[in-house]
Structure 1
């Protein structure tokens, strides 16, 4: 067993009044809190944290990645979204890939340059500040904390150091090498070692000074296309220059008197909503938290939800998606079915299908099935009522994300856990094994052995217990709530509390901070 990382400590939820930040890195949380204290709002702080994470967690995120945003306007009670995911190069067509001898059964390797889509995160940061920011702080001021971390340096945290080493190894095994700017003496930094990234600091400075043009045109854009073409990709300067974010209308579903809001496709937020719609047909609380019955129901529901998600989630600019009918679908009499899911990675183009019959089939200038899903929780207001924000939450981690959203939400709504308890609780991860062509159920340490044995008797392929650093497959979540509405003694139709409650996932290096 992987026992080199224990989870023996406990945390209380953070409670505060004026502002709160939760992230997977303590230094990034501190950067976001500083922005709030200097008069910035939630949008300003979110971008500041994202930029700081790009510095301190380059194995997880960065300017070369994508971003989605959900923003709740407390004055109007409106929720708006930004789709900041990038599109494939215009030259990346199915015909081109077939000409390179790739197919649905033999797609490009995960780390191939052909899988690199246009980075959407920098544009999303700029648009988030412009659309939703306080305008008390300029973009340059919002990014200053990240710039300082990159210039002065930061001590690398424990979990980050592990994954940094892991991804360097995977890249080298695939015949790829990281630029020396992300290594120390050609090796990944160790836990506690000071790491500086002056090149990233310079790019962040230019982004702050000149906005989107600093990234999608000029020096940075030329460097991106040069390295991609050098490694066999097809991205051009025009692909970068023509990129922009999309303003989107969030989608939602009701569950136990609250509404969960997600970004629409090409985000997989639909999967989380479908999963909740299925689970609402079952008495989860009566089954008992993480019991064999509870997990069996959850696993079958995940299989149904992901089957529909992988059938329908794609770029809506290319294919019509029947969102309304899917969200109103009656799952009460259906049984689970199998699906052959596509591989996925940080190279988002690997999420495309090369099956011409798939809605998610690769095409030039198209956004792939995307795993990133931020979430907001509100009351279920009528058309004449104003929405009230209850929580901002997320659980990162590929296909674990919709499963993580629903598990932590059920921990609170069904079992009365506070935000920290909801994140601490052992999780389940359901995945499709491409090699064995069957579903597998991964159970985190803390779930009882007899539960695993019962699930095996039910016909599930069970991996138990998952321990140590292997727990990263269960994602890393953050939750901030307004009031303690999960408490059964509170009237769920009335949310007078202004106290903010927050939790941060123990599977990461981060924390929640407030003032």
Structure 2
């Protein structure tokens, strides 16, 4: 009787384990079992952001005859208001643009520079007085010139269609009349307020309701930001960099022992750059490079190209091992060679050569590497937004914008409605490091927009926010699509991974990776894969990690449509028409 009972129980559980995957396969009528929803498909335009109302602002611009560049500016203005936990006009911007009429890809570095009046020696004296060995993200030494507004106007001057007052009309409306705060943004807002409420300036008046963060669904207004937007709409970028706003910032900085001056704003410019690129299995992948970490995406792809990922399989032990080891190799170069090209001649040709990738690839074995340095001789934190737009004329924009950590520094000049970024905290203090602090220099940046061309035609505009995770996120999305055959929504919904423990671009030049680090995996990973990674020497942690937020737009020239995807883990939305 016991044997019969045991056999019946065993048969029952065997049936469960056999049938559950079968049921999981039919939870959706089509697509991968982990997909949360279908792609959005539109013919005349597409907008994807991390906040649905901001998506609608961008889409409305397209409906009124604006182009993808106009829509990206409008959506960025709206999301700076609606998601101040990730971005705003106190921060920086990078963008890659496909311009259909000229048939060219353009890249814009709209990141700001350190104060001209703060020397390295004086910075070190200030840090010594504070008893610190690094730049604090909550100190005025971490504030560099905000580049986002100049980025908008630089993009608009070259490619814009609608007038700027038309583009900013809806963001102004929402700033003055209010908007309902969405769920995840409310959560992160609530986490930031206790840390920033006592900062000098007008943070409490600007970003709280009676000293607390707004709750999910609560209407929030920022009339000061609305007034700033009005000044920009009426007077242009000079209102920010040469007019009333710049003068007010100068006065406030002097009163509060800050370092930015009117001259820092007046002298600021964005820079059109040649994007860096590599070919991965027939797809030309583009990044901005220079003082941001986009080059790491290309280095990782070059290394991975020598492995047959489609054969090893999605999220398998072998594939995850290869991905993590390739990331380690690229991030050591990231820590030593990514810096402002105006101050450092980055060996970009060598870093992106297929020969160098082959050399580095040979270092990957069956076990986790625990000792590593650059082959030639950041930070996981970061709150950012990524958005992408496409229009009926064929233009596409990949744009990323950030305050860096938290809501930035929390320093708010009264009447302006925005918090300054703390991006200068990512300078190294090692005098021998390419990313060492210097006056008038752009710090290392984690934020990276991505773009892919196929056979000389625009194919995919994509990105994900998330500090040092971003190159990993880009590689994951691309391998999910190219190697594992996912559509662009499935590629974002699929299991994510992250590795922590690499050297950082703020470290000393002589520091090297001396530990295997930790692999972070989402909880849907099979336990057998976890055990296999551990047997290779990897430390593995399940969940309790931040895996970024993704948006993407793919162009289908055969059907004449765009496919849109957005982050399912948070408040994101892709919408087309």
- Deviation of the 1:452 alpha carbon: 2.1
- Which residue of structure 2 aligns with residue 130 of structure 1? 157
In structure 2, the residue matched to 1:28 is: 54
* 2:414 counterpart residue number: none
Selected match of 1:377 from 430, 443, 452: 452
Equivalent of 2:148 in 80, 99, 121: 121
Report the CA distance between 1:154 and its aligned residue: 0.3
Taking structure 1 as reference, are residues 434 and 388 closer, same or farther at Cα in structure 2, changes over 3 Å only?
closer
SS of 2:470's equivalent in the other structure is helix
Q: CA deviation at 1:352?
A: 0.4
1:97 to 123, 135, 157: 123
- What are the residue-to-residue correspondences of 1:400-479 with 2, within 5 Å? 400-432=469-501, 438=515, 439-466=517-544, 470=545, 473-479=546-552
Aligned to 2:111: 85
**Alpha-carbon shift at residue 225 of structure 1 (Å):** 3.2
Q: Does 1:248 align with 2:262?
A: no
Gap runs ≥5 in structure 2: 1-33, 383-403, 405-421, 505-512
**Which residue number corresponds to residue 362 of structure 2?**
333
Task: Give secondary structure in 2 for the equivalent of 1:478.
Answer: strand
Alpha-carbon distance in 2 for matches of 1:124, 1:47: 9
Paired residues of 2:69 and 2:159 also in contact (CA < 8 A): yes
Deviates more, 1:219-228 or 1:301-310: 219-228
- SS of equivalent residue, structure 2 residue 574: strand
TM (normalized to structure 2)?
Answer: 0.80
Distance 2:146 2:204 in 1: 18
What SS class does the counterpart of residue 170 from structure 1 fall into? helix
Q: What secondary structure is seen at the aligned counterpart in 1 of 2:168?
A: helix
Q: How far is the alpha carbon of 1:170 from its aligned partner?
A: 3.2
Asked if residue 225 in structure 1 is aligned to residue 250 in structure 2, the reply is: yes
Q: Which residue of 2 aligns with 1:285?
A: 310
Tell me: CA distance 1:257–1:12, structure 2 relative to 1, closer, same or farther (3 Å): same
Change (3 A) 1:34 1:101: closer
Give the Å deviation of 1:342. 6.0
In the TM superposition, what are the counterparts of 1:55-454 in structure 2 within 5 Å?
55-102=81-128, 106-133=133-160, 135=161, 137-171=162-196, 178-328=203-353, 329-330=356-357, 331-335=360-364, 337-338=371-372, 341=378, 345=382, 346=404, 347-380=422-455, 387-432=456-501, 438=515, 439-454=517-532
Q: Distance in 2 between matches of 1:16 and 1:132?
A: 22
CA distance in 1, matches of 2:343, 2:327: 26
Name the residue aligned to 2:64: 38
Kept after mapping to 2: 8 A contact 1:70/1:374:
yes
| CA gap 1:500/1:101 in 2 versus in 1, 3 angstroms | closer
Distance 1:452 1:354, change over 3 A: same
Number of aligned residue pairs: give it.
485
Mapped partners of 1:228, 1:415: distance in 2: 52
* Native 8 Å contact 2:47 2:574 kept in 1: yes
Q: CA deviation at 1:149?
A: 1.1
CA distance in 1, matches of 2:324, 2:42: 36
2: CA distance, partners of 1:164 / 1:98 = 32
Using the size of structure 1 for normalisation, the TM-score is 0.89
Q: Deviations over 1:73-96 (max 9, x none)?
A: 223321111110000001233211
Moved more, 22-31 or 273-282: 273-282
CA displacement, residues 82-116 of structure 1 (integer Å, 9 cap, x when unaligned): 11000000123321122224499811222111011
Helix, strand or coil: the match of 2:543?
A: strand
Q: Write the distance in 1 (CA, Å) between the matches of 2:173 and 2:206.
A: 16
Question: What is the distance in 1 between the residues matched to 2:380 and 2:328?
Answer: 16
**Alignment check: 8 A CA contact 1:354 1:362 kept:** yes
The CA RMSD over aligned residues, in Å, is 2.4
Any idea what SS the aligned residue of 1:181 has? helix
Residue in structure 2 matched with residue 500 of structure 1 by the alignment:
562
Equivalent residues of 1:15, 1:499 under 8 A apart: yes
Conserved 8 A contact 1:47-1:142: yes
Closer/same/farther in 2, CA of residues 338 and 110 from structure 1, 3 Å limit: farther
1:364 deviates by 0.1
State which of 522, 547, 553 in structure 2 corresponds to 1:480.
Answer: 553
5+ residue gaps, structure 1, are: 1-7, 381-386, 484-494
Offset, 1:178: 2.6
Q: Which moved more, 1:196-205 or 1:260-269?
A: 260-269
Q: CA 1:377–1:177 in structure 2 vs 1: closer, same or farther (change >3 Å)?
A: same
Q: Once the 2 structures are TM-superposed, how far is the Cα of residue 182 of structure 1 from its aligned partner? A: 0.8
**Alpha-carbon offset, residue 230 of structure 1:** 4.4
